[in-house]
Amino acid sequence: MEHVVYTNDMNELISVLMMVIIYSLICIYILRRTKMSLFMHLLFFISVALRVSLTMIDTYFFYLPHSGADSVKFELQAYNLLIGYLDINEYNFDNYPKLIYYIYLLIGRKPLFIRAINGCLSLITGLLVYKSIFKITDDNKKSSWGMLFFLLFPQSMIFSSIILRECLIVFFATFSVWSFIEYTYNNKTSNLY
């Protein structure tokens, strides 16, 4: 399958800048919320660098496993919704292209940014894993290893670097587990909802 060229060079430059900004903000947020050793910080930055590298490889060079047809289809349908080839009121194929469409309404067609959102969702999911393990064990080392195991897991890296819905699904499943753990320990009904 041939690679799709999405946009012009200036738009890609803006997309890369947006990706760097969103990754930087999420990394700062996560590092402020965790207490990891220097070695764990290094592994965390390696997981981020691998996500960014895999995103660039899938975007510009060759498709990663599980990428290609579906990710191109989702993005193209969102773009067709954006330019009016498809009517948003009659579109009922899938909700993920609609989500991408709404993001495109705000920022324009920037598929690289959609991939960055997936990558950052994966990093936030890693933070939820950290917080869940820490709540249960009260051990930074175990929490850090759990988060890094998730972040360095090959499937996690691949799915956070392509345009598919898996990162959303994993995020919400992990968020549900974290909320249940919070409810169990704090007995707050808001966590249960």
Tens of pLDDT, residue by residue over 21-70, are 999 999 999 999 999 999 999 999 999 999 999 988 888 888 888 777 77
Cα torsion for 162, 164, 165, 167, to the nearest 10°?
Answer: -20
109 vs 43 pLDDT, higher one? 43
Please, are residues 65 and 57 in contact by the beta-carbon 8 Å criterion? no
- Better-predicted residue by pLDDT, 2 or 127: 127
Tokens of 108: 């324009």
Element (H, E) at 120: helix 111-137
Is the pLDDT at 191 greater than 80? The verdict is: no
Q: Using CB atoms within 10 A of its CB, is residue 114 exposed (0-12), middle (13-18) or buried (19+)?
A: buried
Q: How many helices (H) and strands (E) does the chain have?
A: 9, 0
Q: How far apart are CA 172 and CA 166, in angstroms?
A: 10
Let me know if 77 is exposed, middle or buried by CB neighbors in 10 A (0-12, 13-18, 19+).
Answer: buried
Return the pLDDT at 15: 85
pLDDT at 47: 95
pLDDT of residue 6: 55
Three-class SS state of 122: helix
Rg (alpha carbons) of the chain, rounded to whole number: 18
Q: Write down the mean pLDDT value for the chain.
A: 87
Asked if 57 contacts 115 with a C-beta cutoff of 8 angstroms, the reply is no
Whether the predicted model's global pTM rises above the 0.85 cut: yes
Is a pLDDT exceeding 70 seen at residue 8?
no
8 Å CB contact between 132 and 185: no
The answer to whether the beta carbons of residues 100 and 91 sit under 8 Å apart is no
Residue 146 clears pLDDT 70, i.e. is over it: yes
